[in-house]
Amino acid sequence: MLHLSRNTVRGILREPQGVQTPAHPVNEVTQQQLTEVYARAKGNAVRMAQILADEYKLHPPYSTLTRWVRQAELRQPPKRSGEYHFEPGQEMQHDTSPHKMEVAGKSITAQCAGLTLAYSRRLFIWYYPRFTRFEAKDFLLRAAQFMDGTCPLCVIDNTSVILAGGAGPDAVFAPEMAAFARALGFKFMAHRVNDPDRKARIERPFAWVEDNFPAGAQF
């Protein structure tokens, strides 16, 4: 009736009637530690909890840690850029993003290739040491196999890996890449220059993957 979760109701019922446990604000020393750990973990609360436990012997509950982050104003709410609506099977989006990773004790920049279905947002990623047309073909084939098919349209940016010239509506796709796409049952479409929001379905997951997979991890 109150539209509250079961855990919230249970927590309220556990408290003495009319009494709530005060939420203690984060102190200055802890806030300094949070600022440093937040930057290292790239804002990922799970990684932050691991670092705080290993290096500072702090073991705050997850809800307390996220409240500290809010109180310290370390995380700014995202701004909406607009809306796009897609039908099932209408479109997929592809892009790459460089991610810093620690491999065998050495910091490297790996290319994270991603492809997502615009309607369901099902996501496939694969890391490469570089991303040329050879890696692009390998990735697109793996993605099509993972998705068990393709959408008729794949939106990309104006990367020279797939384009032979031009940009946006005037883009000229490299013949070998266009032929490879046809073999997999789709065609490319390059969005307008300086309009990355047109493929926001794949832009946003890169930040999520970077903050949750390589952040604070060693391989």
Tell me if residue 136 falls in helix, strand or coil: helix
Domain boundary (77, 109, 141) is at: 77
- Same domain for 116 and 179? yes
- Determine, yes or no, domain membership for 128: yes
Please report the pLDDT score of residue 5 as a whole number.
87
Separation of alpha carbons 123 and 127, rounded Å: 14
- Determine, yes or no, domain membership for 117: yes
- Same domain for 64 and 135? no
- Same domain for 110 and 169? yes
Please report the pLDDT score of residue 185 as a whole number.
96
- Determine, yes or no, domain membership for 40: yes
Q: Residue 98: give the domain boundaries.
A: 92-212
Number of structural domains found in the chain: 2
- Determine, yes or no, domain membership for 115: yes
- Residue 152 belongs to domain with CATH number: 3.30.420.10
- Same domain for 110 and 68? no
- Same domain for 113 and 208? yes
- Determine, yes or no, domain membership for 2: no
- Same domain for 71 and 129? no
Please report the pLDDT score of residue 24 as a whole number.
56
- Determine, yes or no, domain membership for 173: yes
- Same domain for 126 and 189? yes
- pLDDT per residue, tens digit, the chain (219 aa), is 888 888 888 888 887 665 544 455 667 777 788 888 888 887 788 888 888 888 888 888 888 888 888 777 776 665 665 677 889 999 999 999 999 998 998 999 999 999 999 999 999 999 999 999 999 999 999 999 999 999 999 999 999 999 999 998 899 999 999 999 999 999 999 998 888 778 888 888 988 898 888 877 888
Please report the pLDDT score of residue 79 as a whole number.
62
Whole-model pTM over 0.75: no
- 133, 145 Cβ separation under 8 angstroms: no
- Same domain for 30 and 102? no
- Same domain for 73 and 124? no
- Determine, yes or no, domain membership for 43: yes
- Determine, yes or no, domain membership for 5: no
Please report the pLDDT score of residue 23 as a whole number.
52
- Same domain for 130 and 67? no
- Same domain for 156 and 62? no
- Same domain for 101 and 202? yes
Please report the pLDDT score of residue 138 as a whole number.
98
